[in-house]
């Protein structure tokens, strides 16, 4: 079945997302938080505090609804890029109303691209999260649509970074991260991974995104998650459980430019065109 070009502008009915401190702790563990440096995110006796990139988790149900609506081939679906704006800091428990919209469908002839906007509102009906998800659809091109608009290219400066961190991703990290709600078998099932061209399951792009967000909070926000405003990045190359992530940051005026690679494949960025904006 061809992609549904009439889905542009579609908005899903409101989806309620309820979470507790246990969900925020499972997420923090899923993106590599450790008791040595980040106990505030892992122990309810200290709140717990909430990592800003937890705001990607409430979007999953709306994301699935929008994917169903555009009727793309899920086996050819690749998470291309992600942006989140944290309008208000998240509490360790809450009830959110999540709204998703098909903001664009674009034709690259061989491939297609979709853009979803996904926002969330808190109990006071105030906007708390704004998100944008872009997908590359490898099996849905050639439908005669417009080409996507040009996007900004963000390159790390030609100087030493202002901070650099290295973290080994656990061998079971993808299995832990998926407990936050992203159950794509690509990240768990070796047979499924082989069917789509990988020799073993890969790490979720949003898990890498979470590692980068933790580095921003620690090294650019002085450990204060309330200073975190935005994180944007493009998923350029896969990360595998067991890899060592190298996250570098350059303070550039109003934003922090990021470069994320692995020790195993240092010439292949896994998160590119990446930057954070601080409050």
Instruction: Report, as residue numbers or ranges, the catalytic residues.
Output: 182, 187, 202, 205
Q: How far is residue 112's CA from residue 77's CA, in Å, rounded to a whole number?
A: 10
Q: How far is residue 72's CA from residue 104's CA, in Å, rounded to a whole number?
A: 13
Q: How far is residue 92's CA from residue 24's CA, in Å, rounded to a whole number?
A: 7
- Beta-sheet strand order (sheet of 112-121): 15-19, 94-107, 112-121, 127-137, 77-86, 228-235, 271-278, 255-262, 244-252, 163-168
Do you find a cis peptide bond into 161, omega within 30 degrees of 0? no
Neighbours of 134 (CB within 10 A): 21
CA atoms within a 13 Å half-sphere pointing along the CA-CB vector of 171:
0
């Amino acid at each position: 079945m061809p992609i549904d070009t009439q889905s542009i502008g579609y908005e899903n009915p409101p989806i309620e997302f309820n979470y507790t401190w246990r969900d925020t702790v499972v997420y923090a563990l899923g993106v590599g938080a450790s008791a040595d440096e980040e106990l505030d995110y892992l122990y309810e006796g200290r709140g717990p505090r909430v990592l800003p990139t937890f705001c990607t988790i409430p979007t999953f149900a709306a994301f699935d609804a929008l994917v169903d609506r555009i009727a793309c081939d899920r086996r050819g679906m690749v998470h291309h890029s992600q942006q989140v704006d944290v309008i208000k800091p998240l509490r360790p428990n809450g009830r959110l109303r999540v709204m998703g919209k098909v903001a664009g469908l674009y034709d690259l002839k061989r491939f297609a691209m979709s853009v979803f906007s996904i926002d969330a509102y808190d109990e006071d009906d105030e906007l708390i999260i704004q998100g944008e998800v872009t997908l590359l659809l490898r099996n849905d091109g050639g439908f005669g649509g417009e080409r996507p608009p040009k996007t900004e290219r963000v390159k790390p400066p030609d100087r030493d970074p202002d901070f650099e961190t290295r973290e080994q991703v656990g061998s079971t990290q993808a299995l832990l991260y998926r407990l936050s709600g992203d159950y794509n078998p690509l990240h768990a099932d070796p047979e499924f991974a082989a069917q789509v061209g990988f020799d073993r399951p890969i790490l979720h792009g949003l898990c890498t995104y979470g590692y980068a967000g933790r580095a921003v909070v620690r090294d650019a926000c002085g450990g204060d998650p309330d200073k975190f405003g935005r994180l944007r990045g493009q998923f350029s190359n896969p990360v595998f459980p067991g890899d060592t992530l190298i996250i570098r940051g350059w303070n550039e005026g109003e934003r922090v430019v990021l470069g994320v690679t692995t020790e195993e494949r240092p010439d292949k960025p896994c998160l590119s065109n990446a930057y954070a904006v601080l409050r």
